[in-house]
Amino acid sequence: MARVLTGDKIIASIRKKTSIPDDPSEFTDEDILDSVDEEMNTQVLDKLLKLHAEHLVISVDVPRNEAGEYEIPYRAIGNKLRDASLISGGTSYELSQVSIGSLPDYTNDVSTRSELDLFYIENNKLKLISPNRSYSSIRIRYYIRPSYLTKVEEAGIISSLVQDTVAGTLTVTISQVGKSFNSSSIFDIVGKLTPNKIKNFDLTPVSFTSGTSGILVFNLADISNVDDIIVGDYVSLAEETPIPNIPTEMQPLLVQATAVSILESMGDFEALARAEKRMAEMSAATQFLVDDRVELAPKKIRPRHGTLNRGSRNGGRS
């Protein structure tokens, strides 16, 4: 099994690398976790996204609305989308973006085929140029933002799962109850196995019972893929996780980046120089490990919006 690093293990590793004493008057565990989250955003995520290997991509189908306006999910990295398409039956119609400056070239009641699959972004919304194409939903793909790292004690560990298809519920028993869990909490489910993805998020339970163990009841309709959830997965407060939501091979890089940041703040420049050199070596090696995810099947390059693709510009694809 891959050596997955929990929040507790990451704290211990960083204390060892930086020789920070366990005395909380200098650096508390929460201080270290705050630094980890900062380095996740400034050092690790950009390296992961630049690989274009779709590590954090998720897909959601949003039912059609007559206005043709759709909010970008608030958990999207950078409040941006990876891709968008219209879904009609088994057919997917690729959407192309135009700039706001080009809007005078179009009208809101256009119905020509060349303008049915166009959209623009305004603030945090995707807006279709024309609402006239027949479609049932819009499929949005985006990079989900990794959650804030916590200690394991802040999460629950799933010990059993019971589906009731008649009542339409999923009963989740957790062997420990997160320290801040209460009946009004909103929850995420995080995988225990690499890549420790956020399997379901922003779940509001039908009921919550707390004791030595805990019981959470969710509506099955709110679970995107119930068979993907297994015993040992974590239940955490929304936007929190006891394990970094990145490939396991990148977790040591996150630890090293945090150690570099802390050594810099401590003014230990001799140790900092060694740590920075080590981080550069780790960065090169790690990116090689997580890139090119299907090694013997290179990506097929298809011109999406150029002249070579105009013949199929308005056609559908499954």
Confidence of residue 310 (pLDDT cuts 50, 70, 90): very low
Assigned domain for 31 exists: yes
* End-of-domain residue from the set 206, 241, 276: 241
Instruction: Looking at the structure, tell me whether residues 165 and 204 fall in a common domain.
Output: yes
- Give the burial class of 15: count Cβ atoms within 10 A of its Cβ; 0-12 exposed, 13-18 middle, 19 or more buried: middle
**71 within 8 A of 125, measured Cβ to Cβ:** yes
Identify whether residues 38 and 93 lie together within a single domain: no
CA separation, residue 67 to residues 113, 126, 132 (Å): 19, 11, 10
Instruction: Phi first, then psi: give them for residue 146, nearest 5 degrees.
Output: -60, 145
Give the burial class of 1: count Cβ atoms within 10 A of its Cβ; 0-12 exposed, 13-18 middle, 19 or more buried.
exposed
Q: Are residues 227 and 249 in the same domain?
A: no
| Token digits of residue 117 | 């699959």
Q: How far is CA 38 from the centre of its chain?
A: 16
- The verdict on residue 90 lying in a domain is yes
What does the pLDDT average to over 200-217?
A: 94
201 and 251 part of one domain: no
* 64 and 49 co-located in one domain: no
3-state secondary structure of 251: helix
pLDDT at 169: 98
* 39 secondary structure, DSSP code: H
Cα angle value 133/137/143 (rounded, 5°)? 120
In a domain, 301, yes or no: no
Q: Using DSSP, state whether 57 is helix, strand or coil.
A: strand
Q: Verify that 250 and 214 share a domain, yes or no.
A: no
Identify the domain containing residue 206 by its residue range. Answer: 148-241
Q: Which of 48-57, 61-70, 109-118, 303-312 shows the lowest per-residue confidence on average (mean pLDDT)?
A: 303-312
pLDDT for res 69: 95
pTM: 0.84
pLDDT of residue 54: 82
Mean pLDDT value of segment 30-49: 93
pLDDT at 298 over 60: no
Give the per-residue pLDDT at 190: 98
Q: Are residues 273 and 212 in the same domain?
A: no
Higher pLDDT, 117 or 64: 64
CB 256 within 8 A of CB 286: no
- Number of structural domains in the chain: 3
Least confident of 187-196, 295-304, 307-316: 307-316
